[in-house]
Structures are given as structure tokens and as C-alpha cells.
Structure 1
Amino acid sequence: MTPPDPVNVPISSLQEIFAHARESFPDECCGWLTGEKNSRTANGVRKAVNTYDRETHPTAKDRTAQTAFVISDEDLLALNQTLEDDIRPLIIYHSHPNGRAYFSETDRNNAVDPWG
């Protein structure tokens, strides 16, 4: 698989994501970066609600909202409705509240096959 082209993320967007992570702590935050159609530069941050619940999650009952995320139905619908717009989602992000910034095995698997 060929890796995607990099996306330029302005410092102001990173600062907004960092603030979102602090607001959501101790749970994972999640959301997406937006950008113009055919652009590789993010120009906005769209926060989402993490609705992860181990009691109802079908496969990962050993995790919590502190170690996993599920984008809310409403947010996922909003993301889907903008896929063909001039301003569209470029990157889905989430935090690792008590860890370091890295792509976990779960992150890699979901990036390749998000629907399992």
C-alpha cells in the first residue's frame, strides 16, 4: 500500500487539538481536520464526541473511553455529509491521554480497514 501524501497542519490547529485533549482528559478526544478539496493543508478542526462504552461495544470490552474512542453517531453523520463538499475531512485524530503520540497497532489496523 502506498502511503498517502502528507497533510500540512498549522500550529493553530495543533493548539486547538491539544486544548481539546486537555478538555477531554482523562478520556480520549477525537475529531477531524478539514481542508479544501484537492488541498493537502488543513484549515479547520472539527471536534467530535467520544461515545465509547465498553458495556455496549461489540468487540473491545477490555478497553475504556480512556484507551479507545468511538465517534458519536451524530458526528459520524456530519463527517459523512461533508465528504464531497469543498471543505472536507482530511484527517481523523484522537488522543492517547496517558501515553505518547504514536500509531498503535489498533490505529494502524483501523487506518487500513476501518470497518474491521
Structure 2
Amino acid sequence: MTPPDPVSVPRSFLQEIFTHARESFPDECCGWLTGEKNSRTANGVRKAVNTYDKETHPTAKDRTAQTAFVISDKDLLELNQTLDDDIKPLIIYHSHPNGRAYFSETDRNNAVDPWGSGPAIQSSKS
């Protein structure tokens, strides 16, 4: 499979995601970047609620919202309902609050179609 073309993300959106991550600490934040249907440029940030601690995860009971994320039912429904819209999700993001910016084994395993063959961006801010 051919990797997807990179998505252009304005610096202001990265700052918004960094702020979301700081506000969510010590838990992981999550959300998605939106863009026009045939574009590879993000045009919005949609923050989501991480409900990991409020859910019983069937395969990772040893994890918490500090080490994993589950997008809330309400947010996930919205994400799914917009997949075919003119403005649609381009990238799902989440933070690693107590570590460096890297793609974990879980991240790599979950980065599958329709999102492409791998995570799109990696960012770290000191």
C-alpha cells in the first residue's frame, strides 16, 4: 500500500493541540484535524473527550487515560457521520503526556485504513 500524502497542518493548529494536551494532563488528549474532502491541508481542530477511565476496555484493563485514549461515543459518532462530508476528518491525534513524541507499538498497529498505512505527523515541543 502506498502511504498517504502528508497533511499540511498550520502552526496555530499545532499550538491548539499542544494547549489541549497541557489542559488534559495527566491524561492523554485526543481529537482530530479536519479538512476539505480532496485536500491535504487541515482547516480545523476538533477536540474530543477521552473516556478511557469511564469505560471497561476489553483487552487492556491495565491501562488508564494516562496511557491510552478512547474517543467518547458522542465524539466518535460525529466523526463517523462526517467521513463523507465536504469537510471531513483527516487525522486522529492523541498525546503521550509522560513521554516523548513517538509512535508506540499500539499507535502503529492502530494506524490502518482509512487513515493510511501509518501515522501522519509526529511533533514534540520542549
- 1:38 corresponds to 2:41: no
Residue 2 of structure 1 deviates from its aligned partner by 1.9
Aligned length: 116
Q: Secondary structure at the match of 1:53?
A: helix
Given the superposition, is the C-alpha separation of residues 74 and 49 from structure 1 closer, same or farther in structure 2, using an over 3 Å criterion? Answer: same
Instruction: Give 1:57's aligned residue.
Output: 57
Segments of 4+ moved more than 4 angstroms: 113-116
CA contact (8 A) 1:54 1:61 kept: no
> How far apart, CA to CA, are the structure 1 residues paired with 2:109 and 2:14?
24
- Structure 1: distance between partners of 2:113 and 2:37: 23
The unaligned stretches of length 5 or more in structure 2 are 116-125
SS at 1:112's partner residue? coil
Q: Distance in 2 between matches of 1:80 and 1:58?
A: 22
RMSD over equivalenced CA pairs, Å = 3.6
Report deviation, 1:54: 7.7
TM-score normalised by the chain length of structure 1 = 0.93
* CA gap 1:75/1:97 in 2 versus in 1, 3 angstroms: same
Larger deviation, residues 71-80 vs 48-57? 48-57
Q: 1:22 to 1:68 in 2, by over 3 A?
A: same
Flag the 1:13–1:96 CA change in 2: closer, same or farther, 3 A: same
Is contact 1:29–1:49 with CA below 8 Å preserved after alignment? yes
Indicate conservation of the 8 Å contact 1:34/1:46, yes or no. Answer: yes
1:18 counterpart residue number: 18
C-alpha deviation, 1:56, in angstroms: 1.1
